[in-house]
Amino acid sequence: MNLTAIIGYLAAFGTTASFLPQAVKTIQTKDTSGISLPMYILFTLGTLLWLIYGIMEPSLPVAVANAITLIFAATILVYKIKYK
């Protein structure tokens, strides 16, 4: 694996894993006042489209990374709607 691919995998790990601490914090505190509803509507839709793109292309890394991110993003979106 060359350096560019390694950087790509690290990038994918970072942007995917980053939503886990946000989801945990939101579930634990239910504090969603500072969280933007339009952000999580757009981001959840975008992640769903990335998942569909990954399945159609097909690109397993894109599909897997976005399936995981979709779970986190949708969870935060549901909490934002429920506890706004």
Q: Is 7 in the site for a copy of itself (CB under 8 A)?
A: yes
Q: Is 19 in the site for a copy of itself (CB under 8 A)?
A: yes
- Closest distance between a copy of itself and the C-beta of residue 55, in Å? 9
Q: Is 61 in the site for a copy of itself (CB under 8 A)?
A: no
> CA–CA separation, 42 vs 16, rounded Å?
16
| Cβ neighbours of residue 62 closer than 8 Å, sequence gap 6 or more | 50, 51, 53, 54
Q: Is 35 in the site for a copy of itself (CB under 8 A)?
A: yes
The binding site for a copy of itself (CB under 8 A) comprises 3-4, 7-8, 10-22, 24-26, 29, 31-36, 38-43, 45-47, 49-50, 52-53, 56-57
